[in-house]
Amino acid sequence: MGFYIRVEQTVNLYVEDLGPKDGQPILFIHGWPVNHKMFEYQYNQLPKKGYRCIGVDLRGFGKSDQPWEGYTYNRFADDIRAVVDALQLKNFILVGFSMGGAIAIRYMARHLGHQVSKLALFGAAAPVFTKRPDFPYGMAKEDVNKLIKETYRDRPKMLSDFGDIFFARCVTESFKNWFHGLGLEASGHGTAMSAIALRDEDLRGDLSKINVPTAIFHGVQDKVCPFELAEAMHAGIKGSELIPFHYSGHGLFYCELEKFNSELVQFIT
């Protein structure tokens, strides 16, 4: 069932609510630059096991409103809080992929883990997405600037080029076209502004504020968020579990689909 939730006076987010309403809720935060439909192959399976899957399109993406402003981790986290409160979620599992993982971490820190029982981070763009003088891992800021420039110049080509480094294992052309289409559903400006957040935000101070069981799923061959980011998160989040996906790139949710779903069920059970 799809519907809208108002998170600001002029901003509504599209939400998909799948599975039994009395099931354990799992709230999914998608990555840049796609939308909640990227988790199709989890939504297909988890409700069969009794889980309630809630997918949210972040502002500027998918079917959600596309405001000119508000593309910061703080605002994204506040939007998630508004969804949690509107649905009156309690004891829910928060999961986030790539930029969605970064937003999940900011939610945990900014909203003190409000109603979250467990946290799962998939190829998260954290603790820092871009290289810094004191953090030598991640993308170069110049490469992110190029993504932003290409978003405003030729967004379909940018998405296609970005997709070429997304999956480590071969995927069909049909699948690549489908995934590419998810990116095209987004606002061009929202895509660019979110890339600025990816480039500039720093979550290192947030990690120590996470105090729920946390699993870090990460592709060893990830070319977008290198595996060193997972190791840094693992070191910074007390008691976290690091689950490497040896044959996956950034798109571990599909590269090793069966292992991904199996490990997720094992963690959330």
Q: Which of 64, 194, 222, 248 is catalytic?
A: 222
* Strand-pair partners of 2: 16
Task: Give helix 99-110 / helix 188-200 axis angle, nearest 10°.
Answer: 60
Q: Which of 64, 98, 187, 240 is catalytic?
A: 98
Q: Does 187 participate in catalysis according to the annotation? A: no
Q: Does 36 participate in catalysis according to the annotation? A: no
Q: Does 250 participate in catalysis according to the annotation? A: yes
Active site residues: 98, 222, 250
